[in-house]
Amino acid sequence: MAVGIGIVGAGTVGGTLVRRLIDEHDALEAKTGLDLEVRRVAVNDVAKERPFTVPDGVLTGRALDLADDPSVDLVVEVMGGTGVAAEVVMGALRAGKPVVTANKELVAARGPELFDAAAASGVSLLFEAAVGGGIPIIRPLWETLAGEQVRRILGIVNGTTNYILTRMSEDGASYADALAAAQRLGYAEPDPSADVSGADATSKAAILAGLAFGTWIETAAVHREGIEGIARADVAFAAELGYVVKLLAVAERTGGGVSARVHPALVPLHHPLAGIRGATNAVFVEGPSVGELLFAGPGAGAGPTATAVLGDVVDAARELLAGAQVAPRIRLAAASGVADFGAIPTKWYVRLEVADRPGVLAAVAAAFGDHGVSIKSVRQEGRGDRATLLVVTHRAAEADQQAAVAAIGNLDVVAEVGAALRVESDEP
């Protein structure tokens, strides 16, 4: 029995998906036993030239009609955004049709509502492509690791920023030059702000936290810092200290609840994430029983993303043919609260521009100590009028770290707090 697929959006990912569903139809059927038929492709402009050919009547401008279209058994949303896309997805779920989406923004923004709609209809809402592109991470989290009390997830989930930081680290490039290179190569948009500000990664951090901990964190509640302020000097100093700077999405369960945050961080060179270079993405999962898992691969691009969407389509089609009410894969537990950001324990790297004279270190150390932050290592670079002090602290509450650094910035002997970045490592 053929399964009728309705696809909303035919941009880079949608176009590739339609082409593969048509060109690889027989190979897919041989491999999966499923006869997947493209029945509708909803686009803004039906007259525009496309990289695929579909029979008359398949292209349509009426995305919202797919929910009630009897030829469509399963809806794929690859148009993006949280406007029409939300209506399309909700409409299909309410009409009892499984939905596959690659839309991280939509899932992060309206996850609980969408899951409820899917559960009410007994159909699946699948979104493997929403985090990590072609890397299987959604399904491992909610299936293979269903029985694991995941403790922490560290993700490099934005290829643009990882490419920029890799250039800064490996070529000694400045942020501006590395960004320009990323734009030349098509890794960064002409307006790169969604990537470099960490905004793209916050949606993914929220989704990872939701799946791992069953607590949905609003995207706006994800603490966010971008990489725009990263100085070449700190990337070089980090390397001297045995670290590499990465933009991390962190989803964590601590005593105070669960949390999600996105910020640049120093990662020890021996950590598996330190070796993730260029536009590659990776997700590192820690759990008490399973230990440490690393998933790495292409985090974006039409090919990998279409593969992830296709995997979800195959899965949803199998379920459809089984003809059952699908049990929800995710249960949001209202019980686990969101941690107070100020209470989350982190380690910090602080670069201070100081006067090189006796008593400077004592004053800095006292200021850290006054706020309950203990110092792991200190290193002085340069001598004379102005020296640079590199401090790495032990773990302490975020609020205490911030207060300590603010106090240090006010010390007479400190000319400037050049940088204050978190350090993510297993040591206390």
CB 223 within 8 A of CB 402: no
Q: Which is nearer to its own copies, 47 or 322 (CB)?
A: 322
Find the binding residues for its own copies in span 355-414 (CB under 8 A). none
Give the span between the Cα atoms of 227 and 250, in whole angstroms: 15
Is 376 among the catalytic positions? no
Is position 24 an interface residue for its own copies (rule: CB under 8 A)? yes
Is position 287 an interface residue for its own copies (rule: CB under 8 A)? yes
Give the span between the Cα atoms of 243 and 424, in whole angstroms: 10
Give the span between the Cα atoms of 5 and 99, in whole angstroms: 10
Residues 6 or more apart whose CB falls under 8 angstroms from that of 74 comprise 3, 4, 5, 6, 97, 98, 99, 100, 313, 316, 317, 320
Judged by DSSP in three states, 280 sits in strand
* CB 1 to its own copies: min, Å: 11
Q: Which is nearer to its own copies, 272 or 409 (CB)?
A: 272
Nearest to 51 by CA among 76, 5, 14, 26: 14
Q: For 231, list phi and psi in degrees, rounded to 5.
A: -90, 145
Q: Which is nearer to its own copies, 305 or 346 (CB)?
A: 305
- Out of 221, 296, 387, 407, which residue is the one contacting its own copies (CB under 8 A)? 296
- Scored b (16 or more CB within 10 A) or e, 100-122 reads bbbbbbbbbbbbeebbebbbebe
Judged by DSSP in three states, 189 sits in coil
- The amino acid present at 416, given as its one-letter code, is E
Residues 6 or more apart whose CB falls under 8 angstroms from that of 132 comprise 155, 157, 204, 281, 282, 283, 295, 297, 299
Q: Please tell me which residue in 31, 48, 97, 204 is annotated as part of the active site.
A: 204
Give the span between the Cα atoms of 103 and 124, in whole angstroms: 15
- Out of 20, 167, 261, 422, which residue is the one contacting its own copies (CB under 8 A)? 20
Give the contact letters, 302-341, x = binds to its own copies (CB under 8 A), - = no.
-xx-xxx-xxxxxx--xx-xxxxxxxxx-x-x-x------
Stretch that binds its own copies, among 108-116, 132-140, 199-207, 237-245 (CB under 8 A): 132-140
Give the span between the Cα atoms of 369 and 355, in whole angstroms: 20
Q: Which is nearer to its own copies, 47 or 327 (CB)?
A: 327
- Out of 294, 375, 407, 415, which residue is the one contacting its own copies (CB under 8 A)? 294
* CB 291 to its own copies: min, Å: 4
Q: Which is nearer to its own copies, 140 or 409 (CB)?
A: 140
Residues 6 or more apart whose CB falls under 8 angstroms from that of 337 comprise 215, 256, 257, 258
- Scored b (16 or more CB within 10 A) or e, 169-206 reads beeebbbeebbebbbeeebbeeebebbbbbbbbbbbbb
Q: Which is nearer to its own copies, 27 or 64 (CB)?
A: 27
Is position 128 an interface residue for its own copies (rule: CB under 8 A)? yes
Give the span between the Cα atoms of 146 and 129, in whole angstroms: 19
- Out of 15, 134, 198, 210, which residue is the one contacting its own copies (CB under 8 A)? 134
- The amino acid present at 320, given as its one-letter code, is L
Q: Hey, what's the torsion of the CAs at 114, 326, 302, 141, to 10 degrees?
A: 90
Q: Which is nearer to its own copies, 301 or 409 (CB)?
A: 301
* CB 388 to its own copies: min, Å: 32
* CB 251 to its own copies: min, Å: 15
Give the contact letters, 253-282, x = binds to its own copies (CB under 8 A), - = no.
-------------------x--x------x
Find the binding residues for its own copies in span 30-49 (CB under 8 A). 30-33
Stretch that binds its own copies, among 51-59, 104-112, 290-298, 371-379 (CB under 8 A): 290-298
Residue 286 exposed, middle or buried by CB count within 10 Å (0-12, 13-18, 19+): middle
* CB 287 to its own copies: min, Å: 7
Is position 251 an interface residue for its own copies (rule: CB under 8 A)? no
Is position 18 an interface residue for its own copies (rule: CB under 8 A)? no
Stretch that binds its own copies, among 69-77, 146-154, 162-170, 249-257 (CB under 8 A): 146-154
- Out of 45, 68, 116, 143, which residue is the one contacting its own copies (CB under 8 A)? 143
Q: Which is nearer to its own copies, 123 or 165 (CB)?
A: 123
- Catalytically annotated residues: 204
Question: Can you give the binding site for its own copies, defined by CB under 8 A?
Answer: 20, 24, 27-28, 30-33, 128, 134-136, 139-140, 143-149, 214, 272, 275, 282, 287-298, 301, 303-304, 306-308, 310-315, 318-319, 321-329, 331, 333, 335
